[in-house]
Amino acid sequence: MNLQEKLSQSFKDLGSRLNGSESKSLRELRSRSFDYFKGQGFPTNQDEEWKYTSLNKIVKRDFDFSSQVSSEILAEDIEPFLCEGLDSYKLIFINGVFNKSLSILGSNEKFFVGSLKQGMKEMPDIINTHYGKLADTKQSLVALNTAMANEGAFVYVNKGVKLDKLVQILFVNTNHEESRMMQTRNLFVLEDFAEVQIFERHQALNQGHVFSNSVTESSVGNQAHFKHFKLQNDFDSSSMVDSTFVKQGANSSALVDTFAFSGELVRNNLHFEFTGMHAEAHMDAITLLKGKSLVDHHTFVDHAVPHCQSNQLYKGVYDEKSKGVFNGKVMVRKDAQKTNAFQQNNNLLLSDFSSIDTKPQLEIFADDVACSHGCTIGQLDEEALFYMQTRGIPLKEAKAFLMFAFAGDTLKNITIPELKTQLINLVARELKVDLELNEV
């Protein structure tokens, strides 16, 4: 049985398990999405948006689609992958299944922090209003996720509410024998004047092959403020396609920061849409790779209304045989006058065998705008290294300090001290140097 046939059987099994427990509209959405995926199949290098990234090796594997929860997972097993020393809400998923005993939930008339499945029971009107409305199901992997996803995180913040704690979301995979494909789905809804910060991580506990196909929809209301931090530091046998869709209302601000340090293949699709004036979006990322890892960042920012601003800063450091891809597109539509859009991709290649394919793009149909884009590809400054060595700094540490300085401004938007310290330490570890820094 090939992968397409196994997916079809898994889709039928999912329908049998749900057995009419979902709304009619959701069942129809699943069916339409799976039909579309069957017609399109997995993306290939023949698709312009996937010309630099191939899924051939991954989709040829013999995937297991069962959701087997390990009873041996304890709190201490997952602690290294969370931001500890911080009072926060925690949503823990083991092999795609929500684990209530390891999670710290929150729910009242002002907000909801829990699983998507529970949200469908307790807040069906909110789910039906937003679920599947932002994600582009004309992308085949998004369509597959829409058809197959049965679990994930749901965060709802009511009008005028500022969530008092960070929300940590951890997807854990315990498989070590069979290849596993995961379909995770998140929905974040902020009403007008609401605020929330979210930290998300996907983590395997061993070297088994895992392919996570994740979709996140974020609806940010008028004058709401949203921050979403993603840490991608999994085993080299794990792969992920993460598709995130953000819709912003007037006078809102939204930030998505991505920290990619490892993984066999990681593809980040990030789509921002402005629906109200004076909205502001920030997309920052630091990619630190070695070995044969590949990380592909694809961004699309849709300026459809006037007086909005978007800022993209993507930085990458590539060593050994690693590869990076950046394809960033900004669309400024005809009526989107007074748009400010800035896009920058800077890269360091530390090896003759590492590479980066970069393609920043602007499509502008308005005439009163301030837009710019650019990219750089280079190596560490030999003169700076020589100068630091003349001041008694060993070459290894000198290289690390220069790379840390290169990457440091991608950490500027983190306002939670414990989270910032953890990410600084992770960057320092990837650079293989002891940097005793508390802030940048």
Q: What's this model's pTM, rounded to 2 decimal places?
A: 0.94
d(CA 182, CA 172): 10
d(CA 270, CA 305): 19
Would you list the domain boundaries of the chain?
Answer: 3-276, 382-440
Residue 440 confidence (pLDDT): 41
Residue 21 confidence (pLDDT): 78
Is 30 strand, coil or helix?
helix
Q: Which residues of the chain carry a pLDDT beneath 50? A: 437-440
The pair phi, psi for residue 23, each rounded to 5°, is -70, 160
DSSP class of 289: E
Question: What is the tens place of the pLDDT at every residue in 273-304?
Answer: 999 999 999 999 999 999 999 999 999 999 99
Residue 4 confidence (pLDDT): 85
Left, alpha or beta for 143 (phi > 0: left; psi -120 to 50: alpha)?
alpha
The answer to whether 191 touches 159, Cβ cutoff 8 Å, is: yes
* Residues near 7 by beta carbon (within 8 Å), at least 6 away in sequence: 37, 65, 144, 148
d(CA 81, CA 202): 9
Residue 15 confidence (pLDDT): 86
Sheet with 253-260: strands ordered across: 97-98, 88-94, 166-173, 195-204, 225-232, 253-260, 280-289, 309-318, 339-349, 369-378
